Structure 1
Amino acid sequence: MTINPAASLAEIVSLLDSIPAPAILMDTDYRICAANDAYRRQFPHEGELIGRRCYEISHGYSSPCDQAGETCPLRQCQQSGKRQRLLHIHNTPQGREHVNVELNPVRDEHGNIRYFVEIMQSAERTDTHQGRVLKGTSPAFTRMLELLSRAAPSDISVLLLGESGTGKELAAQYLHSHSQRANNPFVVVECTGLTESLFESELFGHEKGAFTGATQRKPGLVDAASGGTLFLDEIGDIPLAMQVKLLRLIESGNYRPVGSVTARRADFRLICATHRPLADMVEFGQFRRDLYYRISAFPVHLPNLAQRREDIVLLAQHLLSQLPASHARDFSEAACQWLQQQEFPGNIRQLRNHIERAILLCDHDLIEPWHLQPEIPSVSASTVSPLPRQSLQELARQPIPLDQLEQQYLQLLSQHPDKTLLAQQLGISERTLYRKLAALREQEIPVDEREKTIG
């Protein structure tokens, strides 16, 4: 935003009313000199806003943000003399909310800063397709959200990194819904388990007669994402043979449906996600270096719940409000304390499982700790031999195709009553565990044993 230094105060105030987002004009002492209607709606306040200090209204503070543990955009703007952008947490009628703050200095005819124009835009707009929203106020979450909000308006390729269950798909939806492509499709490609032929057909589509069973032309997901966002989930699971085809698509922007000789132009914003350490995979030759550099232009790490423990109760309350049959229920103080003490290696997905179970067990208004605690039946020692933790970790590190070590523990894996707990013990994600179990069923195992396998 550029303001003519020769503009009068009245002209600047008039400019505020043309800004659709909440905006104020304030002096160098944080005092509000003017506010547009959007700001007054965002921060309804008894009495006159003019003359009040900005941090009193938006934060409820009695001192500037930098004296209350936050970064102050006005202070930064004074020091640099340039526009400042940062993410703040404001008190709004909807509760505490992340807001992108942009501060522009207004200079007089001598070049001295006389005023500041502050423009605020919510960083927590709900995804219109799923009705979900990113929730959190912890420093780790706020840092992640700030990166997402900065990347969203551009077309830069974003790589989302984080453990299973940290909300990578929701972060990808956030990037899409806050982008200029928000009114166009958001298309998800689940990369896990795709064979080379299926990968090409799903991604690029195929022509009629391209292969046996291709009775009609089928558009691919690249075509479906035209004008919108293509989200490649678990891109680290794509085999090397298929990575070169993806790289060609990204670099050239062209693709050919299976069975076609005509190249087509692709138009999508690329977002990728993985729980795997791609940088290490590159060093070990398991992931193409050139593809890694193309997809990781803007990496964003999604913190796990252990890194944002202060958000757990807030997340639990949000999940509770979204789940069916949760009306008129809340967590007791003891339940809140129990939630904050848990590790949740399965992250938000595991937290949701605990809450879904509690809803079914709770017959009253308050959910207590015993409603949240899973009851894990023990497996009979006469049926299954004990498996030391060291062996579990060795088992988790075995690659697919599975070797004899995993087959030796087929009975334990199939009879374990809680796959979430088993995945935690193995140190792997539930998705990886189920993929291993599915691969085990394809090994040379008697039919009667396969029927016992849970997967």
Structure 2
Amino acid sequence: MAAMNLIARDTHPTVARMLDSYDSPAILVSRDYEILATNDLYRDKFGELDQSDEHPRCYAVSHGYDRPCDEAGETCPLRAATASGNRERVLHIHQTPRGEEHVDVEMLPVFDEAGELEFFIELLRPLRTGSAREPELAMTGSSPAFNEMMGLIARVAPSDVAVLLSGESGAGKELAAHGIHRHSRRAKRHMVTLECAGLTETLFESELFGHVRGAFTGANFHKPGLVEAANGGTLFLDEIGDVPLSLQVKLLRLIETGTYRQVGSTEVRHSDFRLVCATHKNLGQLVEQGLFREDLYYRINVFPIRVPPLRERPEDLQGIARRVLEELGEGRHHHLTQSAADRLREYRFPGNVRELRNILARAMLLANTNVLDRDVIERALTPSRPQFDRAGRPAEAASAVDAIPEDLSLRGAEQRYLLWLLDHFGGSKTQAAQAAGISVRSLYRKLAW
């Protein structure tokens, strides 16, 4: 059991001992913001308090402020709990031994026998926006838009309600889904992802539900589906707006009952999973157009979260770039100059974080040293959105598409663009698909038209 640590001498031990009952870092705070006691979990996570300060204030310890949070431009949960008389909750960025961290703060008022407000118990639950084991799943930011999203993730993650993530391609919807899973009660089980874009009806059913041997031509063995793999964990359906209308009723049945049948089987199976969906489309419009079932829409849209595009997070750009460079550098430190960072902030990033990653990868190859200056970033930005000639072919790589018949249709222009990306990335289909904001499967399908 966690043990309390008294800070102020006049703190009643019985009151401070209440901290023992919480399974998260906790502190006892007076109405004047003084930290009166802490539990072991707090000290393990945030470190020991400065013993030379007999009356440490919560805002000074957590933020380094010399005044309460609400006077420094942030929401103060203590002030809010004082006004309401109820528990209040807010997402803050705290100073910790590991640097700045997002912390879900819950403030619980404690009343005396006369019903007068006496103390507060503050519970602090750090949110892992990054992952040392899986750096590609890390989220970085401190902008208002990012903090708003993280606050919603912190609130919904412990529950089992369905979440709908909306946002532009490359904005980080899958990272947000991983964040929800990591902070859920299902974190020890798998998060299973199905990308719905570009799947035929048969392939969608086979991937999601699985199939038995002989279910269709080529089904030479029994294959468990992703729903079965997600049992006890999280099922993430990416680009849910691309699910064909004919399949949406089967998906609705799965969500409503948790039951399904494998393709070619009559046996009813059950799976217990938490559903998270993502889309870059306006599902409300699709419902109005009759392209998306209204009942399915309300089933998946229990708790909507908008993932902001990179252009709405200019404060986060330099931190994201630093993390990407660390990941791509493979042990070699690359430095982004201030002028280079300023140039990136001028760019709109239609491809969002995914496009930023590609730009920095190009910049690392173009730079002669480990310093990425404005000129290098300018050169790396040039091919980010290729210029097409009057025939619709990329001016810088017309040779890559000489074999393609002249086709002025939208489909033809898209195919030429994808071929240019393949040429630019040295034939890497994965990098070309990432730059285009589509899956590798979709890339194959579009090039086969």
Aligned to 1:56: 60
Q: Compared with structure 1, are the counterparts of its residues 219 and 410 closer, same or farther at alpha carbon in structure 2 (3 Å cutoff)?
A: closer
Letter in 2 for 1:385: A
Are 1:231 and 2:231 counterparts?
A: no
Q: Hey, what does 1:385 align to over in structure 2?
A: 391
Asked if structure 2 preserves the Cα contact closer than 8 Å seen for 1:184 and 1:228, the reply is: yes
Cα–Cα, structure 1 residues 335 and 326, in superposed 2: closer, same or farther, change >3 Å? Answer: farther
Q: Tell me if the contact between 1:164 and 1:429 (Cα under 8 Å) persists in the aligned partners.
A: no
CA deviations on 1:370-401 (whole Å, 9 max, x unpaired) are: 222324397795xx5369xxxxxxxxxxxxxx
Runs of 4+ in 1 over 6 A off after TM superposition: 377-380, 433-437
Deviation at 1:286, TM superposition (A): 1.1
Give percent identity, aligned residues only: 47
CA distance in 1, matches of 2:377, 2:331: 14
In structure 1, what is the Cα distance between the partners aligned to 2:263 and 2:237? Answer: 20
Q: Per the alignment, in what secondary structure is the counterpart of residue 165 of structure 2?
A: strand
1:2-401 equivalence runs, <5 A: 9-41=12-44, 42-124=46-128, 126-127=130-131, 130-131=134-135, 132-325=137-330, 327-373=332-378, 374=380, 375-376=382-383, 385=391
Q: Residues of 2 paired with 1:183 and 1:128: CA distance?
A: 17
Q: Taking structure 1 as reference, are residues 285 and 435 closer, same or farther at Cα in structure 2, changes over 3 Å only?
A: farther
- Shift of residue 279, structure 1, vs aligned partner: 0.6
Aligned partner of 2:436: which letter?
E
CA distance in 1 between counterparts of 2:158 and 2:17 reads: 27
- TM-score if structure 1 supplies the norm length? 0.84
- Could you tell me whether the CA contact under 8 Å between 2:351 and 2:437 is conserved in 1? no
Q: Once the 2 structures are TM-superposed, how far is the Cα of residue 206 of structure 1 from its aligned partner?
A: 1.2
Q: CA separation in 2, counterparts of 1:149 and 1:369?
A: 37
Q: Is the 8 A contact 2:355 2:435 kept in 1?
A: no
- How far does the alpha carbon of each residue in 1:391-413 deviate from its partner, in whole angstroms, 9 at most, with x for none? xxxxxxxxxxxx97335647853
Once structures 1 and 2 are overlaid, which stretch shifts more, 199-208 or 150-159? 199-208
**Match of 2:98, as an amino acid?**
Q
Tell whether the 8 Å contact from 1:320 to 1:326 is kept in structure 2 after alignment: no
Q: 1:429 Cα deviation (Å)?
A: 8.4
SS at match of 1:376: helix
For the structure 1 residues 414 and 347, does the alpha-carbon distance in structure 2 shift closer, same or farther, using more than 3 Å as the test? Answer: closer
Would the aligned equivalents of 2:93 and 2:102 in 1 still touch at CA under 8 Å? yes
Secondary structure of the residue that 1:212 maps to in structure 2? coil
Deviation, structure 1 residue 9: 2.2
Alignment partners' CA distance in 1, 2:153 and 2:388? 48
How large is the RMSD of aligned CA atoms in angstroms? Answer: 2.8
How far off its partner does 1:285 sit? Answer: 0.9
Letter in 2 for 1:430: A
Conservation of the 8 A alpha-carbon contact between 1:65 and 1:71: yes
| TM-score (normalizing by structure 2) | 0.85
Segments of 5+ residues of structure 1 without an aligned counterpart are 1-7, 388-402, 421-427, 444-455
Alignment-derived partner of residue 436 in structure 2: 430
Matched residue SS, 2:262? coil
AA of the residue aligned to 1:376:
P
Q: One-letter code of the match for 2:16?
A: V
Partners of 1:125 and 1:416 in 2: CA distance:
35
Q: 1:78 to 1:230 in 2, by over 3 A?
A: same
What CA distance in whole angstroms lies between the structure 1 residues aligned with 2:53 and 2:423? 56
Counterpart CA distance in 2 for 1:333 and 1:117 is 43
1:348, distance to aligned residue in structure 2 (A): 0.4
SS in 1 for 2:409: helix
| Conserved 8 A contact 1:158-1:299 | yes
Distance 1:317 1:22, change over 3 A: same
Instruction: Provide Cα deviations, 1:270-299, integer angstroms capped at 9, x if missing partner.
Output: 000010111111111111111111000001
- 1:346–1:142 distance in 2 versus 1, CA, 3 Å: same
C-alpha distance in structure 2 between counterparts of 1:405 and 1:271, whole Å: 36
Contact 1:86 1:100 in 2 (8 A): yes
Alpha-carbon distance in 2 for matches of 1:150, 1:371: 42
Distance 2:435 2:86 in 1: 46
Sort the Cα spacing of 1:435 and 1:183 in 2 relative to 1 into closer, same or farther, 3 A: closer
Does structure 2 retain, via aligned residues, the 8 Å contact 1:31–1:51?
A: yes
Residue deviations 1:143-189 (CA, integer Å, cap 9, x gap):
10000111100000000000001111111111111111111111000
Mean Cα displacement is larger for which, 320-329 or 205-214? 320-329
User: Which residue number corresponds to residue 398 of structure 2?
Assistant: none
Distance across 2 between alignment mates of 1:242 and 1:405 = 30
CA distance in 2, matches of 1:380, 1:292: 39
Aligned residues: 414
Paired residue type of 1:340: R
Describe the SS at the equivalent of 1:286: coil
The residue that corresponds to 1:448 in the other structure is: none
What per-residue deviation string (whole Å, max 9, x for no partner) do you get for residues 323-368 of structure 1? 2335232211212222222211111001111111222233434221
Distance 2:123 2:418 in 1: 57
Q: Counterpart of 2:383 in structure 1: which amino acid?
A: I
Residues 440 and 224 from structure 1, CA distance in 2 versus in 1: closer, same or farther, beyond 3 angstroms? Answer: closer
Please identify, of 322-331 and 272-281, the stretch whose mean Cα deviation from structure 2 is larger. Answer: 322-331
Query: Tell me, what secondary structure is at the counterpart of 2:94?
Result: strand
